[in-house]
């Protein structure tokens, strides 16, 4: 649990973040600890069963950047989420693979105004 606290910079959130960010960071920390510390044979992520050791290894590599990404995703989500625990576990699991592309798309949207053109004058 201490490794997870250090990896996600838990103390920073508890000392300096706004109340809603502190609360979400606490929830994410508890969820990561639950996934990592409760040994089982497999964990269901996005409707698929994954080996516990694989999921544990990925969750132990999560860092503060991944937590920020998940918080940003939660802030921008307008859809009703039926199973928030499952949604967060899936988002955390996928964060290392999707975070960079997400931010690249944010920049693209800001640069090109969100129209159907990825590059000025070129249709996608």
Q: How would you write the pLDDT of the chain (124 residues) with one tens digit per residue?
A: 999 999 999 999 999 999 999 999 999 999 999 999 999 999 999 999 999 999 999 999 999 999 999 998 888 888 899 999 999 999 999 998 886 555 555 545 455 665 555 554 444 4
* Spatial separation of the C-alpha atoms in residues 102 and 1, rounded to whole Å: 28
For residues 52 and 46, what is the distance between their CA atoms, to the nearest angstrom?
14
pLDDT for position 99: 63
pLDDT score for 11: 96
**CB-based burial of residue 8 (10 Å sphere; 0-12 exposed, 13-18 middle, 19+ buried)?**
buried
Q: What is the pLDDT of residue 70?
A: 92
The Cα 117–Cα 91 span in angstroms is 28
Q: Return the HEC string of the chain.
A: CHHHHHHCCHHHHHHHCCHHHHHHHHHHHHHHHHHHHCCCCEEEECCEEEEHHHHHHHHHCCCHHHHHHHHHHHHHCCCCCCCHHHHHHHHHHHHHHHHHHHHHHHHHHHHHCCCCEEECCEEC
């Amino acid at each position: 649990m201490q490794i997870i606290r250090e990896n996600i910079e838990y103390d920073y959130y508890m000392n300096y973040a706004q109340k809603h960010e502190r609360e979400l960071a606490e929830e994410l920390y508890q969820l990561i600890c639950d996934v990592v510390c409760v040994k089982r044979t497999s964990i269901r992520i996005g409707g698929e069963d994954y080996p516990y050791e694989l999921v544990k290894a990925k969750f132990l590599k999560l860092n503060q950047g991944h937590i920020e990404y998940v918080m940003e995703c939660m802030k921008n989500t307008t859809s009703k989420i039926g199973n928030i625990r499952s949604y967060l576990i899936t988002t955390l699991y996928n964060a290392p693979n999707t975070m960079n592309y997400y931010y690249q798309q944010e920049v693209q949207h800001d640069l090109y105004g969100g129209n159907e053109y990825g590059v000025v004058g070129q249709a996608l």
